[in-house]
Structure 1
Amino acid sequence: MASFGHGGNIKEISRQNGIDYNNIIDFSANINPLGMPVSVKSAIIEGLQQIEKYPDITYFELKNAIADFENINKDNIILGNGAAEVLFNIVRGINPKNSLILAPTFSEYEEAITSVSGSITSYVLKEEKNFEIQEDILNYINEDLNLICICNPNNPTGVVTSKEILEKILIKSKSNDVMLLIDESFLDFIEEDLSMMEYVKDYKNLIIIKSLTKFFALPGIRIGYGICSDETFLEKINKIIPAWNINIFAEIATKESLKDENYIKTTLEFIRNEKQYVYNELKKIKQIKVYKPSANFILLRTKDKVDLKQNLLQNNILIRSCSNYEGLNENYYRIAIRSRDENAKLIKYIKKNLQK
């Protein structure tokens, strides 16, 4: 069953609140505000006739495009109808009895693990430690554990975990025969090289998940992939994945997106400037605490109890309440970075609501 505890559910929100769907400014979903690349739109229109044919069942060209972009072996790629499908298929393949996840973090790790009746231990990220993973996480790794899930940068905190600590986790996981899954879906928004992709070929217990829909603004198309070098595990996963799970438009969009270097460069510059602007402006509001962002979203906490999400909906602005994240409460909210005009409007109405 689909989870409705995510951002981006603006049609449901519009129905519940009687707001015109087209008038909602959606800060709840962390999607590139520049919209999909023009090159992708043109390629999809040009490729419309391909809908009359089945996609290549081997996805030869698609896997080659991803392999070239990531500088990896194409045979190590697991394709999915969005990163969520990749995650669920990987968890089905591992079938973990005992897993370790962060708290707070993206809810679908828990959903995927509980879908196979797995038990979960939470590594609680402490606010006084800036929600950063500490070295004591190594004490949680033993031979009874089957899977560790780490989101980097973490969602919703935006905190980045260094390669140094990830390498220590990876090494101890390997020695205890534990699979380490690192979700790098938001890492493309960060200009510093923090990816663990280079470790995949030497560590068969490492799996990396990537989503293309956020950076390239393609959430409606659904495309994601995983990377793993364990041949035995990949064979098991390939038996789980149904044929033609990637539609032809997702294939076209991916191949075109990954070679659009100008779009990638423009996005990085835009996000760098806008997240700094929003962060600086939010810091001026005394009624909230703002956490320094790394990717294209910002976590904030109201110092007083106020339903900021519902209040902002009165101005057709939707933000993400983090009250359903373990370790957070109704005072925490996550906002995506959007255009300058939209960001300025958000800041204006946050001030207006909190300074009443």
Structure 2
Amino acid sequence: MREQHGGDVYTEPVRLDFSVSLNPLGMPEALRDAVLSSSGSWEQYPDIRQRKLRQAAAGWYRRLGLSLSPEYFIFGGGASELLQTVFFSGRPKRVLLPVPSFGEYRRMAEASGAEIRFLTLSEESGFDLAQALPELIRALREEHYDMLVLASPNNPTGRAVGADVLREIAGVCRSTGTYLVLDECFGWFLPDRGRFSLLPEIAAHPGDYGHVLVLDSLTKICAMPGLRLGYAIASSDRVREEICRSMQPWPVSAPAEAAGCCAFDGILTEEVKKVQPMLQEERDYLAGSLRESGMKVYGSDANYLLIRCRDAEVLKKACLARGILIRSCADYEGLNRRFFRVCVKTREENRELINAIRQICGEKTNG
């Protein structure tokens, strides 16, 4: 039985999907055009060395002031595929997972045969990893872990981890021989991404961060989950070689490669500039409206909100009856059926979700 995920618009009719956290502005038309224009290459195998993609990605980060070698990049069919490859190439015996977090971390650890230790983040702190830093550091120093998996921002809480905290954790991992996997897939939606990332440190001091791998994806910011394109950034030659040996030869299709090159050549900059101001305004609107409905809404830095209600499973069924899909968090380690997650969409769509929830909760609204 696979883990539950958002995006199941196939089992029941869905008009509005709030269960997946994508760019609310949708896929850029220029990117869609680039994909369709790549059809001439569909009769050829993609470049097994991913040269265009690596050069395009390195060029985009260079324009941000980050000197990352094209060789640092490994592309795959989504970040989840790369995560699986990282676990199966490294074969960690013991893994430390702060929770709640993305369910695939646990699933991949279990599938690779690793022993897992969950570090449960406090609901009272808003699931803030910084508040659990002393316990995390103690666990790393006093217990032996081969791998630590973190996310900034975290899913489903939406909390980003400050670069100072990440540097401290990376330093402890260096001293304990723990491999650090940092998932930054939702970092595109942060106003000042560098303040919540280890990439500036990897770019400046690659030799000190060979034990760190950063996962990222174009799925969220470019709203292209059906194309499947993620990437890993690792400064260690040995780590990259181990990962590449465990991957299939052609993990990225020609359409996905065309989308990636188009994104890194300029679309990403435009999308980030457009979506961030709108996201902050709509996130505040959605959070405030849900609080007015009597729900507990936790602070978020990302394009989604974690909410606590009486029964999220009941709420999900009632919303689905209205053609709206939300993400129950009952299957997340560290949460239960009282929690659910929704993405932040446009004002019209957010208002429709709010009205539906108010009606379900027995409230009246004029819209």
Give TM-score scaled by structure 1 length. Answer: 0.94
2:106 alignment counterpart = 110
Deviation at 1:270, TM superposition (A): 2.1
* Residue pair 2:159, 2:300 contacting (<8 A) in 1 also: yes
CA distance in 2, matches of 1:311, 1:305: 10
Deviation at 1:239, TM superposition (A): 1.0
CA distance in 1, matches of 2:187, 2:312: 32
After superposition, the C-alpha distances for 1:135-182 in whole angstroms (9 at most, x for unaligned) are 221011046210000011110011111112211111011001110111
Amino acid at match of 2:137: L
1:249 alignment counterpart = 255
Deviation at 1:329, TM superposition (A): 1.0
Q: Does 2:69 correspond to 1:73? A: yes
Give the RMSD, CA atoms, in angstroms: 1.5
CA distance in 1, matches of 2:124, 2:105: 24
Deviation at 1:284, TM superposition (A): 1.4
Structure 2 matches for 1:137-152, cutoff 5 A? Answer: 137-142=136-141, 144-152=144-152
2:26 alignment counterpart = 35
CA distance in 2, matches of 1:4, 1:117: 17
Alignment counterpart, residue 356 of structure 2, candidates 332, 349, 352: 349
Aligned-residue sequence identity (percent) comes to 32
Q: Does 2:53 correspond to 1:62? A: yes
Alignment counterpart, residue 281 of structure 1, candidates 278, 289, 314: 289
Deviation at 1:88, TM superposition (A): 0.7
After superposition, the C-alpha distances for 1:101-145 in whole angstroms (9 at most, x for unaligned) are 111100001111111110000111011122112222101104621
SS of residue paired to 2:300: coil
CA distance in 2, matches of 1:137, 1:305: 30
CA distance in 1, matches of 2:33, 2:6: 28
SS of residue paired to 1:141: helix
Amino acid at match of 1:235: E
Moved more, 182-191 or 50-59: 50-59
CA distance in 1, matches of 2:213, 2:3: 26
SS of residue paired to 2:25: coil
1:153 alignment counterpart = 153
2:198 alignment counterpart = 196
Q: 1:305 to 1:43 in 2, by over 3 A?
A: closer
2:317 alignment counterpart = 310
Amino acid at match of 1:167: R
1:25 alignment counterpart = 16
Deviation at 1:293, TM superposition (A): 2.0
Deviation at 1:4, TM superposition (A): 4.2
Amino acid at match of 1:170: A
After superposition, the C-alpha distances for 1:268-294 in whole angstroms (9 at most, x for unaligned) are 2221221122112212112x1111221
Deviation at 1:306, TM superposition (A): 6.7
Give structure 1 stretches of 5+ with no counterpart: none
Amino acid at match of 1:294: D
Alignment counterpart, residue 82 of structure 1, candidates 78, 82, 91: 78
Moved more, 189-198 or 120-129: 189-198
Q: 1:205 to 1:306 in 2, by over 3 A?
A: closer
Give structure 2 stretches of 5+ with no counterpart: none
SS of residue paired to 2:228: coil
CA distance in 2, matches of 1:126, 1:355: 31
2:6 alignment counterpart = 7
Q: 1:306 to 1:86 in 2, by over 3 A?
A: closer
CA distance in 2, matches of 1:57, 1:306: 44
SS of residue paired to 2:239: helix
2:187 alignment counterpart = 187
Deviation at 1:24, TM superposition (A): 2.5
1:221 alignment counterpart = 227
CA distance in 2, matches of 1:234, 1:262: 31
* Residue pair 1:312, 1:350 contacting (<8 A) in 2 also: yes
Question: Would you identify which runs of 4 or more consecutive aligned residues in structure 1 move more than 2 Å?
Answer: 261-264, 303-306
Deviation at 1:305, TM superposition (A): 7.4
Deviation at 1:262, TM superposition (A): 2.2
Amino acid at match of 1:223: L
Give TM-score scaled by structure 2 length. Answer: 0.91
* Residue pair 1:279, 1:293 contacting (<8 A) in 2 also: no
1:122 alignment counterpart = 118
SS of residue paired to 1:293: coil
After superposition, the C-alpha distances for 1:275-322 in whole angstroms (9 at most, x for unaligned) are 122112212112x11112211100111146771101111110000000
* Residue pair 1:302, 1:332 contacting (<8 A) in 2 also: yes
